[in-house]
């Protein structure tokens, strides 16, 4: 069955960096767009970034543009999110999701369990 397992979260100081990984299995990873979606503690969901099945095109939410970089390695069935210049407002659970449908962001069929990123001094 489809599995998405995130890792790499943790506590980091403001201005610091962190790299999230998502290991995918149970489906043909290279066939699908993938996205990162985050949820701040006690808050709603926020789309962060999306990457096509081949690696381009890529898109970002305005709130992370220029600071975060999404990438993927289809040979390793893995999705990544490099997060630089982290701010307190980036504190959230980050979910790796399969982006399905006719357009990027149409719907998110499968979600990982999430990894918590805490930005605090």
Partner 1 sequence: QSALTQPPSASGSPGQSVTISCTGTSSDVGGYNYVSWYQQHPGKAPKLMIYEVSKRPSGVPDRFSGSKSGNTASLTVSGLQAEDEADYYCTSYAGRNNLLFGGGTKLTVL
Footprint of partner 1 on this chain (CB under 8 A)?
Answer: 44-47, 50, 59-60, 95, 100-114
Minimal distance, residue 29 CB to partner 1, in Å:
18
Nearer to partner 1, 75 or 98 (CB): 98
Complex with partner 1: residue 75 or 103, whichever CB lies closer:
103
CB of 43 to partner 1, least distance (A): 8
Comparison of 82 and 105: residue with beta carbon closer to partner 1? 105
**63, 70, 67, 69: which is closest to 85 by C-alpha?**
67
Bridge partner residues of 62 (DSSP): none
Q: How far apart are CA 46 and CA 60, in angstroms?
A: 11
* Separation between Cα atoms, residue 53 and residue 10, nearest integer Å: 28
CA atoms of 42 and 104, how far apart (whole Å):
26
* Smallest distance from partner 1 to CB 16, Å: 26
């Amino acid at each position: 069955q489809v599995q998405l397992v995130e890792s790499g979260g943790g506590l980091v100081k403001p201005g610091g960096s962190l790299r999230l990984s998502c290991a995918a299995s149970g489906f043909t990873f290279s066939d699908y767009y993938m996205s990162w979606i985050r949820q701040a503690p006690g808050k709603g969901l926020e789309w962060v970034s999306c990457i096509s099945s081949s690696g381009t095109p890529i898109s970002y939410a305005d709130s992370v543009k220029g600071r975060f970089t999404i990438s993927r390695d289809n040979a390793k069935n893995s999705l990544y999110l490099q997060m630089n210049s982290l701010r307190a407002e980036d504190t959230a659970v980050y979910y790796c999701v399969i982006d399905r449908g006719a357009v990027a962001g149409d719907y998110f069929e499968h979600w990982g369990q999430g990894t918590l990123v805490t930005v605090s001094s």
